[in-house]
Amino acid sequence: MANDPIFILGTERSGSNLLRLILNSHSRIAVPHPPHVVRYFAPLEALYGDLTKDRAFRRLVDDILRLLDQHIYQWDIPIDAELVARTATPRSAFGVYVALQDQYRAHTGKARWGCKSTFMVDHIPEIRARFPGARMLFLVRDPRDVAVSSRKSVFSTFHPYHTAQLWRDQQASGLRWLDQLPAEAIRLVHYERLVAEPEASVREICAFLDEDFEPGMLRFFDTDEARKSASLAESWGNTGRPVSRASVEQWRTGLTPRERLIVEHIAGAEMTRLGYAPVATPAELASVRIGVRERGGYELAEGLQSVRIELRSVRKDKNVWRRWARAWTLAGLRVRLRASSALARSHGAGAPGAGPNGS
């Protein structure tokens, strides 16, 4: 059996929480809810200065640990900050995340860890460089159903126009890697088959991961991890229930004909490649025009839905205040780092942390 890490790739609202809990129910696999360290900190790395220098790197580690303290799904395990700083390889946000995952795995006593941060689809070169034997599960779902699910979730874009663009871009990236990487490194997983034939699908995933199938994986909803997930946010409510096909083809009633056409127009090529047949004819798709006024309407609808979902989150989600605190912390961090970097440049000192006087 392999001990290489597992990465779930794709787009939010595609069943990644479901797959996380199924895998986490395996006796050898630990998949914590992700704090999205790489997503938030990789764009900021350059502002810390030379990360080969202890002072600059420790600032990065400390800021990442602050983010973990405010994680919307608390890990509830002790983190050894000194061990993180000492073992992170490479010295980057990705390396720090790996060190954190290693500590989580060790705390659980399991043999290997998994990552559910679907945004790692943009960091596959780093994954492959650090873990040549890593296994990647490219999880996909019909973008029309993703659009229906996303408009009700506080964790995603809301309007189908924006969701379709994100889905298209992330699926295009995943498909490129599916074409380039060997079959033993990456596997395509369709959400629709996972919920229609859960045992057969999970058995195939286990074979890909070089793990024995365990029946308890299909009873994930009985675990403390699933109950905790379902209790924290309305968007995660289904994680506390058995696998269901109820959310398949919700787009038939959940999208207007125009919304469905827009999704198919934007994401049609990737849909076809992944086996999701557009309803519209090629001529209808080619004739779609989205003018400035219509796009403006989508932006307005996105903003209004954002307000509605935030207000609902205040009433329904236990972790809403942690989510807001995380957003405020990240915003303050970006301001501080950019101001520090600009000040350092104005004094000709390079990026902060680059020299002995870096702030």
Question: pLDDT at position 357, please?
Answer: 32
Question: Is residue 27, in this structure, part of any structural domain at all?
Answer: yes
Sign, Cα dihedral of 271, 119, 334, 236: positive
Look at residue 341 in the predicted model and tell me its pLDDT: 80
The answer to the question of residue 323 being in a domain is yes
Q: pLDDT digit string (tens) for 212-245?
A: 999 999 999 999 999 999 999 989 888 999 999 9
CATH for 323: 3.40.50.300
Q: How far is CA 137 from CA 124, 174, 329, in A?
A: 12, 10, 31
Q: By C-alpha distance, which of 104, 97, 85 is closest to 36?
A: 97
Q: Which residue has the higher pLDDT, 102 or 237?
A: 102
Q: Please check the confidence at residue 329 and state whether its pLDDT lies above 60.
A: yes
- Is the confidence at residue 38, as pLDDT, over 60? yes
Q: Using pLDDT thresholds of 50, 70 and 90, give the confidence band for residue 343.
A: confident
Give a yes or no: residue 184 inside a domain: yes
In a domain, 359, yes or no: no
The pLDDT of 339-353, averaged and rounded, is: 69
- Which pLDDT value is given to residue 2? 78
- 249 falls within a domain: yes
User: Mean of the pLDDT values across residues 112-116?
Assistant: 98
Dihedral sign from CA coordinates of 316, 322, 326, 331: positive
- Which residues partner with 30 through β-bridges? 113
The total number of structural domains in the chain stands at 1
Looking at residue 327, its amino acid is: A
pLDDT exceeds cutoff 60 at 352: no
Sign of the dihedral through C-alpha 189, 239, 39, 103: negative
State the residue range of the domain holding 294: 6-346
What is the C-alpha to C-alpha distance for residues 185 and 135, in angstroms, rounded to an integer?
5
- The tokens for 131 are 């873990």
pTM to 2 decimal places: 0.92
Average pLDDT, rounded, for the chain: 93
Q: Does 121 reside within a domain?
A: yes
Answer whether residue 287 is part of any domain.
yes
Sign of CA dihedral 290, 295, 301, 305: positive
Q: What is the distance between the terminal CA atoms of the chain, rounded to a whole angstrom?
A: 46
For residue 353, being part of any structural domain is answered with no
Count Cβ atoms within 10 A of the Cβ of residue 48 and give its class: 0-12 exposed, 13-18 middle, 19 or more buried. buried
